[in-house]
Amino acid sequence: MSVDLVDRDVLLVGAGKVALRKAQDLLDCGARLRVVAPWFEPGFAKLVGGWTKIERPWTPGDEQGARLVVAATSDPEANRQIYEACAALGILCNVVDVPDLCDFYVPAVARGQGVQISIGTDGAAPSLSAFARRKLLEWIGDGFGDLVQLVARLRAETRARLTLPERERFWKTLDWEEWLARIRRDGPQACEAALRAEIDRQVSATQEPAYEPAARGRVVLVGAGPGHPDLITRMGLRALGRATALVYDRLVSPELLRMVPTSCQLFPVGKKGFEPSFPQSEINALLVQLAREGQFVVRLKGGDPFVFGRGGEEVEACLAAGVAVEVVPGLSSSLAVPAYAGIPITHRGLSRSFAIISGFHADGRAADVPDAETIIVMMPLHSMAGVRDRFLAAGWAADTPCAAVQAGTTAGERVLYSVLATLDQDLQREGLQSPLIVVVGRVAGWAREHAYRPELHTPPHGAAFPNA
């Protein structure tokens, strides 16, 4: 929250070095500043902006009429009295460096070319706020302010050319990282020409008599990665930043849901095996409906959309409805989860090939065990006994090493090592739950022998080792 201090009466009590910094900040905000103190730092004579000097100690009543008061004296008792006097009159007061006597906190502010960014720590670490301000000033100075001024001009011009919903959708779905890179690379004039061309295309599209709303909206299938919010791709994050509607799975990290604009509509469509779930046909229909409304729809899916994510079906539904659709690949859980847990999928002398199969199939058909040296089994929790039997029938030895990973890359990760013959029993005894991935092959034995040891490694999360 920000307070407008332009032409508002503000009282500053104290005139030392700290007060001097506060005084310039308040003047920069446009305040009508009064400073009360028995003596003044010489720097007060160099303040930029008009202010009133009252050369005496504070007395009760000085605070009357002020929008807010900043107490920066060296006398703790005087600061407390100033705070109490303000509280009695309902005037906001900030006692510098005393959080318990603050009705508001003064953030560090980075300003440049029409941009103002406030950084605060609720008074807990003002030096860190100042550090962040310096970093932001570097960033603002590198084209961001130019982009703000450009967009401000063009927004005003588009009011006569586009309706309010059309304007909001246009500005909210631009890829700002791309435009910031463009203004830094090509300069403001070239960036303005390109942005005007984008606006012209938007205006032309809305004026076409046979224009279909579906042509305005689009669907982007984004792979969220295996679970840890930092394992989404940069391209995926950029798509989230442009979303006006987010359709997301159950296993998507809550941190990623906070990456979308605050105005973005959220549609949870999570599925869970053997429990009531959102039918795929309804998800497809929802994506098409939102796109036809002109939304920039992000379909956020765990792992990669095209690896047991039914992303192909959603692409088919969009194309059949005439909706533009694209895919942003994600880090597939089938490979990332074992790697994060320290289980190599290939290893010289142990495994030169791997395959990925699903342990659960909605159509009821069980996948054959492929001819590979390492097999990753996705979603096998409720069918592990049948999966084991298929491996044994395919000629795999009963003592083949296995590793099961629950909730890989997240805080709930657990790793269990076993062998093919007893894996289903070990899973039940240890209580591992979905989401679950199982690795079958000699690499699982290697991983067990080289498992994270506290004295040598920092384990990603906890691990359970039955039959150790």
- Known catalytic residues? 249, 271
Which residues are within 8 A (CB) of 106 and not within 5 positions of it... i.e. 6 or more apart?
22, 25, 70, 94, 120
Q: Do residues 440 and 396 touch, judged by C-beta distance below 8 A?
A: yes
What is the rounded CA–CA span in Å between residue 41 and residue 400? 79
**Considering only CA atoms, which of 451, 446, 390 is closest in space to residue 423?**
390
What is the rounded CA–CA span in Å between residue 402 and residue 430? 15
Alpha-helical runs (H) found in 187-320: 188-207, 234-242, 254-257, 280-292, 311-320
CA max distance for the chain? 95
**How many Å from the N-terminal Cα to the C-terminal Cα in the chain?**
56
Burial 128-159 (b: 16+ CB within 10 A, else e): ebeebbeebbeebeebbbbbeebbeeeeeebe
- SS3 at position 318: helix
User: Omega before 99 cis (within 30°)?
Assistant: no
